[in-house]
């Protein structure tokens, strides 16, 4: 990165830090932000990560499976406010790990392995809704802001300026949520994970999926991942903690789902 590009990129980050240091998530939680989610920086980095993933990982070509994943995803995206749900790219990756992800720039990736755990449309909606929740709450921007504040802005500036090396790219993409491919895994915090659960439950209920199956999904996950470390060793809430939190929100979510059904929102996604 030459001196001129570095100066411009760092200046942009400095301005962003003044303008966006105080933000608020969809649940009302105060967030520390050095990057404006609406300024295009995060979207550019998310698009770069997603394009690279498509080059490195095999995508699934089964039309029925892709239609199923798109049906669930599109039902969730339809309830996002304004134009937020428009223009998303959805890909199914051939990967046995039970995972899915969403990136800034309106990108959704679903591993074929998650379908061994999320066995119904509502269970899959729980997973995808959670991942969309991370994007809508700007968790990647928040996490990248924390990383930048802790270790300096040069790696992020290099990505923005399009002159990053492999090490810089790995760090930034790991912060975005693409760490499995780039080798630098930076998990979302427990607060962010719990918040994404809440937002995802809201979306799936508004879309007309069965909120009760959000708990079933984590029961399946607990059975599938018996050897996971205890909660205090992980940034992710334990499966039991997640189920307890979701159970406390089910009554309101069920009412929301009933309202969605009355309005004609009743997904019928089939594999």
Note the Cα 88 to chain centre separation in Å.
13
Task: Say if 270 falls within a structural domain.
Answer: no
Given the residues 24, 70, 94, 131, the one annotated as active site? 131
- 270, exposed or middle or buried, with CB in 10 Å at 0-12, 13-18, 19+? exposed
Taking the CA atoms of 35, 37, 41 and 45 in sequence, report the sign of the dihedral they define: positive
Task: Say if 163 falls within a structural domain.
Answer: yes
With 60 as the cut, is the pLDDT of residue 33 above it? yes
228-262 pLDDT, tens digit per residue, is 655 544 556 666 777 788 889 899 999 999 999 99
Q: Which residue has the higher pLDDT, 53 or 58?
A: 58
* H/E element, 111: strand 107-111
Task: Say if 268 falls within a structural domain.
Answer: no
Angle between helix axes 154-161 and 3-20 (nearest 10 degrees) is 110
Claim: this prediction has a pTM higher than 0.85: no
The pLDDT-based confidence of 213 (bands split at 50, 70, 90) is very high
Q: What would the two tokens of residue 70 be? A: 């798109």
User: Which of 145, 71, 143 lies closest to 110 in space, CA to CA?
Assistant: 71
69-89 pLDDT, tens digit per residue, is 999 999 999 999 999 999 999
Residue 48 and residue 57: Cα distance in Å, rounded? Answer: 14
Q: Minimum mean pLDDT among 75-89, 139-153, 155-169, 221-235: which range?
A: 155-169
- Would you state the pLDDT for residue 189? 74
Residue 39 and residue 214: Cα distance in Å, rounded? Answer: 33
With 80 as the cut, is the pLDDT of residue 113 above it? yes
* Residue 131 is among the residues annotated as catalytic for this protein: yes
Q: What would the two tokens of residue 96 be? A: 């046995």
Q: How many domains does the chain have?
A: 1
Average pLDDT over residues 182-210: 82
Task: Say if 101 falls within a structural domain.
Answer: yes
Task: Say if 47 falls within a structural domain.
Answer: yes
- Would you state the pLDDT for residue 191? 82
- Would you state the pLDDT for residue 240? 76
Task: Say if 269 falls within a structural domain.
Answer: no
Boundaries of domain holding 119: 3-262
89-99 pLDDT, tens digit per residue, is 999 999 998 98
């Amino acid at each position: 990165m030459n001196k001129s590009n570095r100066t411009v990129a760092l200046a942009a980050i400095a301005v962003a830090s003044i303008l966006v240091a105080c933000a608020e998530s969809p649940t009302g939680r105060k967030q520390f932000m050095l990057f404006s989610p609406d300024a295009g920086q995060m979207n550019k980095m998310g698009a770069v990560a997603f394009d690279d993933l498509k080059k490195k990982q095999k995508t699934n070509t089964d039309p029925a499976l892709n239609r199923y994943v798109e049906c669930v995803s599109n039902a969730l995206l339809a309830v996002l406010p304004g134009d937020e749900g428009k223009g998303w790219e959805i890909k199914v990756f051939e990967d046995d790990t039970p995972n899915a992800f969403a990136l800034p720039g309106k990108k959704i990736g679903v591993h074929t392995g998650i379908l061994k755990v999320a066995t119904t449309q509502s269970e899959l909606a729980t997973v995808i809704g959670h991942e969309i929740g991370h994007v809508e709450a700007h968790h990647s921007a928040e996490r990248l802001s924390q990383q930048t504040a802790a270790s300096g802005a040069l790696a992020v500036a290099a990505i923005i300026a399009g002159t990053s090396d492999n090490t810089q790219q790995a760090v930034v993409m790991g912060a975005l949520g693409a760490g499995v491919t780039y080798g630098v895994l930076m998990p979302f915090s427990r607060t962010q994970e719990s918040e994404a659960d809440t937002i995802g439950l809201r979306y799936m209920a508004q879309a007309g999926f069965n909120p009760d199956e959000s708990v079933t999904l984590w029961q399946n996950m607990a059975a599938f991942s018996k050897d996971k470390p205890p909660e205090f060793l992980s940034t992710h809430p334990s499966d039991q903690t997640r189920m307890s939190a979701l159970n406390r929100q089910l009554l309101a979510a069920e009412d929301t789902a009933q309202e969605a059904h009355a309005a004609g929102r009743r997904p019928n996604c089939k594999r």
